Amino acid sequence: MFGSIGMPEMIIILVIALIIFGPRKLPELGRSLGKSLAEFKRASNELKNTLEEEIRLDEQRTTIEAQKATTPPPSTPADLPSPVQEHAAPVHGVDTHSA
């Protein structure tokens, strides 16, 4: 439960705390310790979640930038032939449509 601290060590710690603080103060100290540990756990989980979110957003930005660098820019309407240009007047005054 507590890593390398076994049951005999826990009993010794409890007896020492009981001798030092007395039976009236011990429950209050236990509650305070429990609240402190819970608050620490909550804060560390928030920090972990924040870091994971930042890493995920950074990876998304990197992926988007890599995609932009590898794909050519989209064609603009100026690059595409327009229907007006296909039926434009013949060059040098030669009419190829009249026979």
Q: Which whole number is the average pLDDT over 12-31?
A: 87
**Which pTM does this prediction carry?**
0.48
Q: Identify which has the larger pLDDT, 4 or 12.
A: 12
At 85, is the secondary structure helix, strand, or coil? helix
Phi and psi torsions of 5, nearest 5°: -85, 120
pLDDT tens-place string over residues 32-82: 989 999 999 999 999 999 999 999 999 999 999 988 888 766 666 555 555
Give the pLDDT confidence score for residue 83 in this predicted structure: 58
Distances (CA, A) of 81 to 21, 34, 74, 86, 87: 89, 74, 15, 7, 11
Domains of the chain, CATH where assigned: 15-66 (1.20.5)
| Distance, CA of 25 to CA of 27 (rounded, Å) | 6
User: Which run of H or E residues covers position 56?
Assistant: helix 7-70
